[in-house]
Structures are given as C-alpha cells and as structure tokens.
Structure 1
C-alpha cells in the first residue's frame, strides 16, 4: 500500500521547461526537475511546489509510511481537454504502484482546479498549498478574493448592498448636501448589515410559506395576527401624531410621549397575537406549556408598567374618584397592577396546566 505525494502542474510548466512527458515519478527524477525548471524560470512557483513535494515525501517515509513522489501535468495550452491528461496520469500511477491515498501539493489556486479529478480516483489525505513567502500577502489576498466571489451567499449579502449604495451616491449628492448623502448611505449599509446579521432574511423567506400554511389550516391566529398588525399600525400612528406638535421638544421627552400614546395599542396587539396562538393550541387539543398560557398576561403587564413609567416621566397624575394621585403614586399603582396581572396570569396558567395534565392522565 503506497501513498502518492502528487505535485500538480496545471499550467504545464514542467512539460514546457524540460520537454519530459508526464508523469514524472521518483525521488531522483523530481529532484532533477527542480534544477531544470529553476534554470529555465527561476521565478516559477513550480520550483517551490516541487521542493515541498520532496519534503512531504521524506517526512512520510521517515514516519514509516511508504510514499512515492510524482509530478502530474496538464496538457499543453490549446490542447483539447487538458485536465483529462491529468486523469489519465493518475490512472496510470494507480495501476503501476498500487496506490491507496494521496497527499496533493499545489502551488497556485489554478492548480487546485484539478482536485476534483484527483478525488474522483484516489482518497485525498491532505492538500498542501505552497505560498511563496515574499508574495504571501498578494497571493493570500487573491485567494481570499477568489473564494469570496465564488460564494453566492456572500456576494448577495455584501456586494449587492454595496452596489446599490454606490449607485445611489450620485443621486443623493445631486439632490441633497454631502452630509445628508453620507448619512443616507450609512443608513442603507447599516440596514443591510442588520437585515442579514439579525437573520431577518430567513424570516422574510419563510413568510410566504407560513402565511400559506396558516390560511389553508384555518387557524384562529390568522385573524389575530392581522388584528395585531392593524393595532400595531394604529399605535405607531398614534405615537407619531402625539409627537408631531413637539418639534422643539428634547428627544428623550419626545420618546416618552410616543411610548405613552402608542403603548396601549401595542400592548393590545401583543395580547391579541399571543391569544391567537393560545386558541390554536386549545382548538387542536395540544399540550399548553405554562409559558404560552401566561404569555398574554405577561404582555399586558409589560404594557401597563410601560404606561406607568412614561406617565411618570411626563408628570401625569391620576384621579381615582375624589382622590388625586401624584405622578409618583400613579407610577406605584401602575407597577403594582402590572405585577398583579403577571402573578395572576402565571397562577392561572399553572393551575390550568396542572388540570390538563391530570385529565390526560385519567
């Protein structure tokens, strides 16, 4: 059983420099190639590739592995199917030396295009890519750029937003000031990064399928989700209308006004959506975990507490009958009610889950 240390020469440097017919097999034959190729073209990366193949062969033999070194070369440029010549050479070597595996040594990224040919005939135990030290930065940059351009997902994620941004720059500079154009460009790139980084593209991609399944299954969540979306839109508009007259108000105060006005609508939207999921599970007679049962109460509690804090920031009091409560007292009431709603929701969810488990056991 022999391991082949295969030096790939796709650009036919060996054939052109020496006139030999590949494959070239054996330690002495390959070592003489180093001199021949080096004298013909001292700058050729094939010289380093040959030396690395000899080193790997020596190390394998020293470790007790029966290894043989060979150089395979593609057909001369202009010939028909030059890579086919490499396949024939590998078949010849396999038949002559009873090869079981190979370690491939490459000198350029172009040589690596022959790897599928090798892998289809022999087990590849390793790929040793030789990069000349003086050209490491340039070669590595070229290799990474080539790999990047070959990855379709990376191209669409990075190059498409960048291309759109570059196309928009002239239009933005034509209609707006450089500062506005730069801000718009940064916002577009930031949106693209967040869109991909947060995985929003995956949710958007699944949205048609999920919507189709919900419509065909006749679930209650279809209605509740649409209702929740409508409540969310109303809440955002309500908050925006509340902030519109406050053009000179500081940003923190404007944010408090927006949340105070929109929080009831957004809270009802969350409760509606959570209730729809809960009703679907009840209709399907599925097991109801405590977290799902207590979710509507939790969302309602968060909305009540948010309303209390925004009211406190806006110094809004509360009148209960003939009693007027100061903003700090109003905040305490809202926080207390929110905590109470959350506790009641968790308690009811736990009791309902226990009752359901007992009925299923019986």
Structure 2
C-alpha cells in the first residue's frame, strides 16, 4: 500500500522564497527544502508544515507502509491558475507513483481549498492542519474574521447597522441629547431585529411577486383587491369617526367596541369584495372551484354578524346606542305593532342569523363541489365505472362482435384492431400469468 503525504502550498510561498519549482518529491528533497525555506524566512509557518509532512511520513514508515512525501505548490498570480497548477502536479504524481491513499498537510484555510482537488484524484485518509502554537488563538481569530467578512449577507446584516449607529449617535447626542439619541437608536435597532426576525422582507418580496403575476395574468382579483383596500380605509375612517363622537369615557373598552360596531359593515364589504374577486378567478380558470372559496363569503357574513351583535349588545348596555325598534307595518293579513327588541333578543337574533348563514354556506359549497365532480365524471362514479360505461356503450354499438372479418378470436368482445394490448392492461394474458406484474408497474 502506497501513501502519498502531500504538503499543499496554494500561493507558491516556497517557490517565491527559494526559487525552486514544484513538485518537490522525496524525503531528502523535502528535508533540504526545509533548510532553504527556514533560511529565507524563519518566521514563515511553511517551515512547520514541511516538518509536519516529514514527521507524518516517518510515522507511516515505522508502520511498514510505503510512503511518498511531496510538496505541491500553486501559482501566486491568480487562484484559477494556482488550482490548475496543483491539479497538473497531482496528476503527474499519481501517474508516477500510483498511490492508494493520501494524507494532506496544510497550514491555512487558503490551502485547505485545494483538498477537493486532491479528493477528486485519490482517496484522502487524513487532513493535518498545522497551526503554530504561539499564534493559535490569533490565527483562528483572523480566519474567523476573514470568513465573516467574506459573507456578503452577514456583512449587511451586522456591519451596516453598527456603522449607522456609530454615525447617527453623535449627531443625535449633540442635537437632542444623549438619552433621547440612545432611545431613538435603540428603537430603530429593535424594529430592525423584528423586521429580520419575522422575515418581513421575504413576505414583501412574495407579495410583490404575486401582485406582478396577477397583473400580468389579468386576474379579476386585482381590481377587487383595490376596491377592498378602499372599503377597508373607509371602514377604519368610519370607526375612528364614531369613536371621536363619543363623550369623555374612561378606559378603552367602550371606544374599542364603538369602533368595531361602526367599522364592521365596511370591513365585511371589503372582505366580501376580495373573496368575490378570488371566486371569479377560480370560476374563470380550468380547475374546479375549491370548497374553501365557495364557503368564504358566507363565513365573512357570519363573523361580521357575530361581531356586530356583540358590540351592539355592550353599547346598548352602556346606553351608547338606542335599542333596536321593529316599526309597525301592515301587509294584507300580516300586521305588526311597533316593537322594541331587548338587548338579549337582539344579540340572539344576530347569533342565530350568523349560524344559519354559516350552515347555508357549508351546504351550498358542498352541493356545488358535488356538481363539479359530476361534470368531471358524467356517470357520477369512479374511474373504473367510467371505463365500464365506455365498454358497455361500445358493446351497444356492435351487438354481435362475432360477425365480420374483424371479429376477435376465442369469443373476445370487440374488433381485433380496437382490442387493447394485453401488455398494457391488467386483464391481459401477461397479468394473469404473473399477478405481481401489475404491482411492479404501479411502483
């Protein structure tokens, strides 16, 4: 078993300091190279890397393994040329010595990027990274900072807010005071963290993409969404106007209830408009209308009735709004005197109406989805039933399949030209001969 102990030098530090060309192969050649590199630059960590390569090779030889130690260098002009030079040198080493495995020795994260090139040519059993003991913490910190600064997204997320804070805080401290400036910066940082934590940027990107696709496809829901947004603003304005007309009341319960009471009709109309547009898009499309879109308008009406009923109940209890009065009317034999409905009766009427509307919506959605399935399958049955119906209609067209030149032999129904291939069905001869064949094809 031959093991290649290869020392990687991506930037060709060895060649620039000694003037030697790589690869340098052999125990004595690498040992002499240690002296040359050490005399050229005693502070270079490459000396330790070369010594580590010799130590690994010596340990493998002590275990009675055939070892080839080599130093492979790249090119300092560009990373692409450096990687290609290392690949060419590895190809020559593998062609000359035919190693079964390799042990890679490096001294930096830059050199470790060559490991995939080695792995693509020979099996790598071990990677030995040499770090000078006196500078272990400093070098590790350096490479961590280098990797951190190489990540563009991480730089924008961390360094940009810190830089803006350091720039804005002195301005705010000199104009509005240190306390106000620190409070403002803390608020902005908190909003930024919430923005990133809730993935608001992804939500906005998805919303913009969906809006663009809706505009290009000409969907009706685009117009209805705009109308729904307008109705929503009207509802918020009406609710705020109703709160402003209240007399001075302690607490926030009554104003909130008044806002819900006044704004819920407009908000319900906005939701109905948006759901109607979505329903029209589903109806125009080729796919069947889903049950959830059919039931959504009824659900919106039911929820709005419940919210309106409970808000009216609390407001009427506090004498903010007048009781509900049923006016007198006379329609033929039907007549009614003026009737004042109590708070409980009013709430019960709204709740019962909401339940009835929701039940009607569920029944309507179920019946429409059932009719859609009937349109997709005219016989109203399963696919197997449809196939049976087709065969029955074929039999009705040709009641006597035994007559004529195209009659099927052995009493089979249908002409020979229209008889299905037994290899393509589960009822043919192959399926009868091998019952597991159909299951094999299904899988």
TM-score of the alignment, normalized to the shorter chain, above 0.5: yes
The size of the alignment, in residue pairs, is: 355
Residue aligning to 2:359? 343
Residue aligning to 2:407? none
Spell out, residue by residue over 1:132-189, the C-alpha distance to the aligned partner (whole angstroms, 9 max, x if none): 4776655444434333332333334444444445444345445545454344333433
The more displaced of 228-237 and 9-18 is 9-18
Query: Structure 1 residues 164, 90: CA separation in 2 closer, same or farther (over 3 Å shift)?
Result: same
Residue aligning to 2:169? 169
Map 1:32-111; keep pairs closer than 5 Å: 41=42, 44=45, 47=48, 51=52, 68-74=68-74, 86-98=86-98, 104-111=104-111
Map 1:161-310; keep pairs closer than 5 Å: 161-174=161-174, 176-240=176-240, 250=251, 259-307=260-308
Query: Structure 1 residues 9, 174: CA separation in 2 closer, same or farther (over 3 Å shift)?
Result: same
Residue aligning to 1:352? 368
Structure 2: gaps (5+ residues)? 326-339, 379-443
Instruction: Report the Cα distance in structure 2 between the residues aligned to 1:313 and 1:53, rounded to whole angstroms.
Output: 88
Instruction: Report the Cα distance in structure 1 between the residues aligned to 2:128 and 2:187, rounded to whole angstroms.
Output: 41
Instruction: Report the Cα distance in structure 2 between the residues aligned to 1:298 and 1:48, rounded to whole angstroms.
Output: 73
Query: Structure 1 residues 166, 90: CA separation in 2 closer, same or farther (over 3 Å shift)?
Result: same
Q: What secondary structure sits across from 1:72 in the alignment?
A: strand
Query: Which structure is higher in helix share?
Result: 1
Query: Structure 1 residues 84, 339: CA separation in 2 closer, same or farther (over 3 Å shift)?
Result: same
Q: What secondary structure sits across from 2:70 in the alignment?
A: strand
Contact (CA 8 Å) 1:318, 1:330: kept in 2 or not? no
Contact (CA 8 Å) 2:49, 2:105: kept in 1 or not? no
> 1:294 Cα shift?
1.9
Q: What secondary structure sits across from 2:211 in the alignment?
A: helix
Instruction: Report the Cα distance in structure 2 between the residues aligned to 1:5 and 1:312, rounded to whole angstroms.
Output: 86
Structure 1: gaps (5+ residues)? none
Instruction: Report the Cα distance in structure 1 between the residues aligned to 2:307 and 2:57, rounded to whole angstroms.
Output: 68
Map 1:322-341; keep pairs closer than 5 Å: 322-325=340-343, 334-341=350-357
Instruction: Report the Cα distance in structure 2 between the residues aligned to 1:119 and 1:191, rounded to whole angstroms.
Output: 48
> 1:15 Cα shift?
5.4
Instruction: Report the Cα distance in structure 2 between the residues aligned to 1:311 and 1:139, rounded to whole angstroms.
Output: 71
Instruction: Report the Cα distance in structure 1 between the residues aligned to 2:279 and 2:258, rounded to whole angstroms.
Output: 32
Q: What secondary structure sits across from 1:269 in the alignment?
A: helix
Computing the radius of gyration from Cα coordinates, the structure with the larger value is: 2
TM-score w.r.t. length of structure 2: 0.60
> 1:224 Cα shift?
0.7
Spell out, residue by residue over 1:82-106, the C-alpha distance to the aligned partner (whole angstroms, 9 max, x if none): 6665455334323323468766443
Instruction: Report the Cα distance in structure 2 between the residues aligned to 1:73 and 1:173, rounded to whole angstroms.
Output: 55
RCO higher in structure (CA 8 A, sep ≥6): 1
